[in-house]
Structure 1
Amino acid sequence: MFRDNYFTTGIPFNQPINQKTADAKFQTSIRQRLTKSILSFNTFLDVTYTQKSFWDIYRTSLPFPDNNFNPGLSIGKPIIRNNQLKGIAIFSFEHKSNGRDSIDSRDWNYFSFSFTHFFNMRFSAEAKAWAGWIDKKENLR
């Protein structure tokens, strides 16, 4: 698992259930290591993918009015002290898009660096910084 995986829907209590008052949202996310071997500097390479979709499940044709696609590539380094995993540092490149073309297209790219410190088996803290850019002027509207 990479990010949260979920499916959620809801209905209004004070209105009838119809195509304008209720829908569903779900997200699927994976992380897959690309190599079995450890790379230089004790690092590893991962590919990531997250998809978030909004689904009009109460309409006859069950359309998806919006989908967000988020593939990425990351290199990570575990921080090990006294034979214990104390943290992990990850540098990533990600692309986020709605998958459409022309004037309906919405996308951007970003690099990020995150560090997670494991205090114990149940408690950790993460800091993340990112810098992004937009390729097309149409995305600025």
Structure 2
Amino acid sequence: MKRYKQALIILFFSTSLFANNINSLYEQALEYEKNQQYKEAMEIYKKIANLNKPQKKIEESISFKQTKKDSNTKKDFTSLKSKFFNKYLDKIEDKETSNTLEQVIIRDFGLYPYKTTYLLPVTYDTKEKDNRSQYETKFQLSFEKPLTYNIFGLNETISFAYTQKSYWQTSRESAPFRESNYQPEFFVTIPYKNDNSSLKGYKISFLHESNGQAEEKSRSWNRVYLESYFQYSNLFLIPRIWYRIPEKTSNDDNKDIEKYLGFGDLTFFYPYKKHTFELKLRNNLRLNKDNKGAVEFNWSFPLPSFLNIANSFGYFQVFSGYGDSLIDYDKEINKIGLGIAFTR
């Protein structure tokens, strides 16, 4: 940056110093041309060209440095790995082997973020539970792998996705993982275009969810769901309804899960400048003493500039109700957490 400023100063003074001299030379050259003294005029034009060379070099230097700066700004992790492969590794003559090695090094397998991937180093549950600390770490990992596109002529995308949500008792001495929920799913997303409609698309999915534990701590269920996307300016409404696929009574770890989680949820999503706000509501729609539900609020916001972490955001989460995790589907949880989101 310092050299760039110095170059600008040099350019300014060089322009001032040469401007008058060049103008006078131009006038002299034009006078020669009027008098048909073309040889003398050409000599003057050569002098003007020579005078312009230092200035052009300065301009080229500035242009090169600015281009280099812009290039460095645009570099991402993928391009850095690509540079490593092309510059530092020995070349392999067999093209297929070279392509395989390039894919392994660059790790470009067409995986995309799905749900928000976040880390909440500290969460606090206001309700005490047996054999657990009220303080724990919570994180979620989620990715999507598109499989096919437009095979039905609807511009649809068929994808596989995987989401994992884990609860880590980092405040306890042995720091055990008390619970992890695993959600593999296959789904088709279909866009919808109509100038007079706020509906923008919908998704049909098969979703499995389980916690990988055994015996009395085992929890699992399978669902198919329909999700729709409505847009009203920069407010998005995302209603979802599901149907639980029945299981044999002997294999059902959570027979009454629908009593607590109901048959669907409604999400409000609102991006504003560099912030996103998400409110998810769920209710079993039982209008009596058995009414159960949940509210989850997520807010992502820019991190302080001194942290300088690319594509990452502050993340604040509040949950109140039933179904924060499978092991707690029938327990009321009031939890608050603060951390960082790596996708949104």
Higher RCO (C-alpha under 8 Å, 6+ residues apart): 1
**Alpha-carbon distance, 1:97 to partner:** 0.1
What is the match of residue 53 of structure 1?
A: 166
- Given candidates 246, 254, 258, the residue that maps to 1:139 is 254
Deviations 1:56-90 (A, max 9, x none): 112333210111101100011101236xx951110
Which residue of the partner structure matches residue 157 of structure 2? 44
Shift of 1:48: 1.4
Deviation of the 1:22 alpha carbon: 1.8
Distance in 1 of aligned mates of 2:203 and 2:124: 39
> What residue identity is the alignment partner of 2:117?
N
For residue 71 of structure 1, the aligned residue among 184, 188, 191 is 184
Residue identity opposite 2:224 in structure 1? F
Hey, what's the Cα distance between the residues in 2 that align with 1:34 and 1:109? 21
Q: TM-score, normalised by structure 2?
A: 0.35
Match of 1:81 in 2: 194
Structure 1 residues 65, 123: closer, same or farther in 2, change over 3 A?
same
| Gaps in structure 2 of 5+ consecutive residues | 1-112, 126-131, 257-344
Pairing partner for 1:91 from 204, 226, 239? 204
SS in 1 for 2:212: coil
Change (3 A) 1:103 1:88: same
Q: Percent identity between the aligned chains?
A: 24
In 1, Cα distance between equivalents of 2:134 and 2:124: 7
Find the partner of 2:239 among 114, 120, 127: 127
| Counterparts of 2:223 and 2:124, CA distance in 1 | 36
* SS in structure 2 of the partner of residue 20 of structure 1: coil
Match of 2:153, SS state, is helix
Task: Encode CA deviations 1:104-126: one digit per residue, 9 max, x unaligned.
Answer: 32100000001102234x22222
Structure number with the higher helix fraction is: 2
Match of 2:219 in 1: 106
User: Cα distance 1:93–1:24, how it changes in 2: closer, same or farther (>3 A)?
Assistant: same
Q: Which runs of 4+ in 1 moved over 4 A?
A: none
Q: Distance in 2 between matches of 1:39 and 1:86?
A: 22
| Cα displacement (A) at 1:98 | 0.3
User: Does the C-alpha gap of structure 1 residues 117 and 103 become closer, same or farther in structure 2, counting only changes over 3 Å?
Assistant: same
Counterpart contact for 2:144–2:161, Cα < 8 Å: yes
Alpha-carbon RMSD across the aligned residues, in angstroms, is 2.5
More strand by share: 1
Q: What is the rounded CA distance, in whole Å, between the counterparts of 1:93 and 1:11 in structure 2? A: 32
Alignment of 1:29-40 (within 5 A): 29-35=142-148, 37-40=149-152
Cα distance in 1 between the residues matched to 2:225 and 2:169: 33
Q: Using a 3 Å threshold, how does the CA distance of structure 1 residues 11 and 73 change in structure 2: closer, same or farther?
A: closer
1:115 alignment partner in structure 2? 228
Deviation at 1:54, TM superposition (A): 0.5
Q: TM-score, normalised by structure 1?
A: 0.78
Query: Where in structure 1 are there 5+ consecutive unaligned residues?
Result: 13-18
Q: How does 1:13-24 map to 2 (within 5 A)?
A: 20-24=133-137
- Whole-Å separation in 2 of the counterparts to 1:74 and 1:52: 20
